[in-house]
Structure 1
Amino acid sequence: MNNTESDIATKTPSPNTLLLHLPTSLRIISLNCWGLKYLSTHRSARLLEIGRQLSLASPTPTLVGLQECWTQADYLAIRSLTKSILPHGKFYFSGIFGSGLAILSKYPIEESSMYRYPLNGRPSAFFRGDWYVGKGVACARIRIGPGRGGVVEVFCTHLHAPYAEAGGEDSYACHRVAQAWEIARLMRWAGERGHGVVGLGDFNSEPGGLGWRVVVGGAGVRDVWRVWRPESKVERVAGKVGGGEVPNSGECLRVHGATCDSRFNTWRWSKGVRRELEKGKDQEVDPEVLDPRARRLDYVFFASPTGQRWEVEDAEVGMTMRHPTLRCSLSDHFSVETTLVRRETGQAESEPAKSTYLPIETYDEILAMIATYDIRERKQRRLRLTHFGVEIFIALSCFVAVWWSPHNFVAFLLMLLSTLGLSAGVLDGLMGGLFVGSEIRALKEFEHEVRNAREQALRCLGTNPQPV
């Protein structure tokens, strides 16, 4: 060995030496802040208190992911309160109104990016806003130590909301599953690079649901709550949880990790009860009362870096306190909080690699959903383009009718009808011809990816792939 090679060998640290410079634990918090500008009640006061609670939290958080933090002013207020413990942060811009996503970190953020979902709601549903905020994944590459194993890639997201009545069809389910597929792929790629993976956010999917299965199986990550509370119920069935008995309010928080629609959250209460609360008349919530509406929609997923083994030391539902003066809950969601600890193990005892192939029936379920949604969208495109054509005909007819109009008032009405009708028709034509066409093409890409993954899964199982 020459001198140069000797110097390199001497200077290159061993894996065990690198581990000495890594933190032994990570405290992670994910919270949907409900910070809609002009729409969320007491927005500024609540988010300011969220920042204060983060600064006082024990154990001290090292990674925080926020959703529905829409205004930069609210983000900066939280940053000013937490900068001593979380000196690094990123507010993510996207869409017309912003993504609402932010990541705070104790450790430096080396790189960040905002990945927008190809399937992301419809512009015609302006009263819902999902399409206009440009939903996607806030990505941050965070350096917690030296070497490849000292990188944690954090992915924060807020998937499309269901907007379905009880027992009704959720026409956005395909969008949400496509979004789950996208974030699962990003997390899987991070794991393949040998980095630690943390995925967090409001996934608008219950445990065991299709979106949840796509993320867990497709990314090779673990759901911290299922690891910490394996006895927790998987999903609600016909008003019950996991097909068993409805849990009480206390169990929903402690055991089942319900972060949304809890009886303890004042924003679930009726308007009358909330008005009484504003007058100082509080309501006691009995933890023994059954709570069939409580749901777990917020998650922290993780995977260990190559050569390491990180485990869940604890997990809990947090941010359940009230605002000190307003007496309301800090958000319409509670947070999910967890501590991951690094176990001192050798290379051979590091976390084993997990298969990222889904069960074949899951691929088939996704493909069936895509086929159903594709039919719906093609029908919508035909209807919108037909409406456009009809409005053009009506507008031309009104222009001709004006020539024989006996009175100016009648002519005015005909012009008004043609103008309003043609405007509506043009909007529908643009949506049908441009947006729905773009959506169908994105749907085709999604279908191709699912079919390709299904074929790969079949080959991995030693079976010849069959067309679906």
Structure 2
Amino acid sequence: MEGDPALRLRVFDLNCWAIRYLSKRRQERIRLIGDRLCQEGFDLVLLQEVWSEQDYSDLKAKLGGCCPYSHYFRSGVIGSGLCIFSKFPILDTLLYQYSLNGYPYMLQHGDWFCGKSVGLAVINISGIVFNVYVTHLHAEYCREKDAYLPHRVVQAWELLQFIRHTAKAADVVLLGGDLNMHPQDVGIRLLRCWTGLRDAFTETKHFEGCEDGCTLIPNNCFTVNSELQPFPLGIRIDYILYKAGSGFTVRCEELQTTTGTAPGTDIPYSDHEAVMATLHVQRTGQAAGVTPSTAVPALVEVLSEARTEVRVGLQAARRQRYSSGRMALLALLLLLLQAAAALGALAGLAEGQPFPKLSFALLAFLALGVLLLATGLHLFHTIEVKMLQGTEEQMRMALGVLQEHPGRS
């Protein structure tokens, strides 16, 4: 009831940047992260980019005293990199892998191989059911020409749908992670507007840390400063979002970010700054009111904007599918011509003209390689078209429902 004491919950969120063989001073930083978590005794720890299961095992062993319950979410070629540590028992877990996640041929970015996903852990804390989500969306890389924006919007759409359909029985919803979106980007506006999640940074009563809550800052020694040139203060792409269910209230009393190097060292914990929130959860005993219809126009606007971005991506995917299909067809025709020429040579139709066997073989191998590559790309972009088309149709249907029956949103 309203007189019940508030539950105080300390939450830690960090993109650990722990890529085996590639991330600088990875093992040392994982050790520092574990030390910090042990010292401060957080109730919930949400980590991303823990790509090595050995790193997870090391953290699990170190945090056994303060956060004895944990789960590592596995997906994709090298794993999702997501894990949760909790002071309270984890009752259930679920993982959803996003349908689109960049391009396999963009090896320098590597997002496609990472199995970007959202993980859910259901946790009962003092009789209150928490649905705790941790996620990591596709990186931006270039803001001026963001080729991955449609994929990230699709991921944001799938994330909000996953939360909507799994959080109905939860008393409190908590989402943490590297969303790779600025606060005013269409994807996060869509996520927050549709789910009703509140941003701990904008809601907190007391903030301490990097200016504007930035979590990717220029004075981090692991940051590529050229990528932050348009943003001298840095950018805020790591979030702790929350909302209360019926009969509960949640407020953020305090929010902190790390601000550079770990105490007593010359390195930070990661190329991202950690986000640490102190939440107060209280039972009110009152049913939540109906969402006011005044929110519908804003939701229609942001959903229309998101749908436009998906349609732009759909057009680009169709062009790439057509180009790769045409390339595969040309390679196939070249192979058929070579086969016809070879048959003619064997039949003696080309007497008097020595047959260049080595050149012919090299050309055949080249044509076969192009055929296989182009066919693979054509199949990949066909799947991409279907996923984008499916999301666009879902958004169109949702827009129709919002405009015709606002109360059903």
For 2:195, the equivalent position in structure 1 comes to 219
Which letter does structure 1 place at the counterpart of 2:271? D
For 1:444, the equivalent position in structure 2 comes to 389
After superposition, the Cα gap between the structure-2 partners of 1:191 and 1:352, relative to the gap in structure 1 and judged at 3 Å, is farther
Q: Deviations over 1:406-448 (max 9, x none)?
A: 678x42232123213322321221221x222222111122112
For 2:278, the equivalent position in structure 1 comes to 339
Which letter does structure 1 place at the counterpart of 2:285? Q
Q: Deviations over 1:330-377 (max 9, x none)?
A: 21000111010124x6323x7656468552221221222122111111
Question: Within 1, Cα distance between the matches of 2:18 and 2:89?
Answer: 26
For 1:30, the equivalent position in structure 2 comes to 13
SS at match of 2:213: coil
Question: Within 2, Cα distance between the matches of 1:334 and 1:101?
Answer: 17
Which letter does structure 2 place at the counterpart of 1:303? K
Query: Quick one: percent identity of the two aligned structures?
Result: 29
Write out aligned runs for 1:270-419 (5 A).
292=232, 294-318=234-258, 320-322=260-262, 324=264, 327-343=266-282, 346-348=284-286, 352=289, 354=291, 358-401=298-341, 403=345, 410-419=356-365
1:258 equivalent in alignment to 2:214? yes
Question: Within 2, Cα distance between the matches of 1:422 and 1:183?
Answer: 40
Q: Deviations over 1:275-333 (max 9, x none)?
A: xxxxxxxxxxxxxxx962500000000011321111111011127333755x2222100
Which letter does structure 1 place at the counterpart of 2:269? L
> Does the CA contact (< 8 Å) of 1:315 and 1:338 recur in 2?
yes
1:160 equivalent in alignment to 2:159? no
SS at match of 1:309: strand
Q: Deviations over 1:195-222 (max 9, x none)?
A: 3101110000001111110111111110
For 2:174, the equivalent position in structure 1 comes to 198
Alpha-carbon shift at residue 115 of structure 1 (Å)? 0.3
> Does the CA contact (< 8 Å) of 1:25 and 1:340 recur in 2?
yes
Alpha-carbon shift at residue 118 of structure 1 (Å)? 1.4
After superposition, the Cα gap between the structure-2 partners of 1:79 and 1:182, relative to the gap in structure 1 and judged at 3 Å, is same
Which letter does structure 1 place at the counterpart of 2:62? L
Q: For the aligned residues, what is the CA RMSD?
A: 2.8
Structure with the larger RCO, 1 or 2 (CA within 8 Å, 6+ apart): 2
Alpha-carbon shift at residue 459 of structure 1 (Å)? 2.9
Of 155, 162, 168, the match for 1:186: 162
Unaligned residue ranges in structure 2 (runs of 5+)? none
Write out aligned runs for 1:145-156 (5 A).
145-146=126-127, 150-156=128-134
SS at match of 1:266: coil
Which letter does structure 1 place at the counterpart of 2:279? L
Question: Within 2, Cα distance between the matches of 1:141 and 1:301?
Answer: 16
Write out aligned runs for 1:26-175 (5 A).
26-57=9-40, 60-146=41-127, 150-164=128-142, 167=144, 169-175=145-151
Higher relative strand content: 2
Which letter does structure 2 place at the counterpart of 1:459? E
Question: Within 1, Cα distance between the matches of 2:380 and 2:406?
Answer: 39
Alpha-carbon shift at residue 255 of structure 1 (Å)? 4.2
> Does the CA contact (< 8 Å) of 2:48 and 2:81 recur in 1?
yes
Question: Within 1, Cα distance between the matches of 2:290 and 2:205?
Answer: 22
> Does the CA contact (< 8 Å) of 1:224 and 1:315 recur in 2?
yes
Question: Within 2, Cα distance between the matches of 1:445 and 1:180?
Answer: 14
Q: Deviations over 1:245-269 (max 9, x none)?
A: xxxxxx9x44410001x13311137
Question: Within 1, Cα distance between the matches of 2:33 and 2:289?
Answer: 37
Give the length in aligned residue pairs: 395
Alpha-carbon shift at residue 78 of structure 1 (Å)? 1.1
SS at match of 1:64: strand
After superposition, the Cα gap between the structure-2 partners of 1:202 and 1:124, relative to the gap in structure 1 and judged at 3 Å, is same
SS at match of 1:84: coil
Which letter does structure 2 place at the counterpart of 1:263? P
> Does the CA contact (< 8 Å) of 1:185 and 1:218 recur in 2?
no
Question: Within 1, Cα distance between the matches of 2:165 and 2:2?
Answer: 25
SS at match of 1:114: strand
SS at match of 2:108: coil
Which letter does structure 2 place at the counterpart of 1:298? D
Unaligned residue ranges in structure 1 (runs of 5+)? 1-14, 233-250, 272-289, 463-468
